[in-house]
Amino acid sequence: ISKDVVTFLNWAAEPELDERKKIGVKALMLFSTLTAIALWIKRNRWHTLKSRKVVFNSPKNWQQQQQKKN
């Protein structure tokens, strides 16, 4: 019976706790959804730049390539 009394007193001390929990769950779902959307957009937007192949031709190699072409 003491556990029931403690539970009731705890609820009586903070009656808005249930409402805050519901708001917290809604906020968590909203932020998770927004994070997932943001990550998906980031992957699609930067995909073209991240998948490019960048080749550095030093001046020595560039001169050799120009001589081969001529």
Buried b (16+ CB within 10 A) or exposed e, 12-47: eeeeeeeeeeeeeeeeeeeeeeeeeeeeeeeeeeee
Q: Which amino acid is at 48?
A: T
- The answer on pLDDT for 50 being more than 80 is no
Mean pLDDT of 2-23: 88
62 falls in which pLDDT band (50, 70, 90)? low
Average pLDDT score over the chain: 85
What distance in Å separates the CA atoms of residue 7 and residue 2, rounded to the nearest whole number? 9
48 falls in which pLDDT band (50, 70, 90)? confident
What's the pLDDT score for residue 70? 62
Tokens of 4: 């029931």
What's the pLDDT score for residue 2? 85
- Count CA atoms within 13 Å of residue 9 on its CB side: 6
Please give the model's pTM, rounded to 2 decimal places. Answer: 0.55
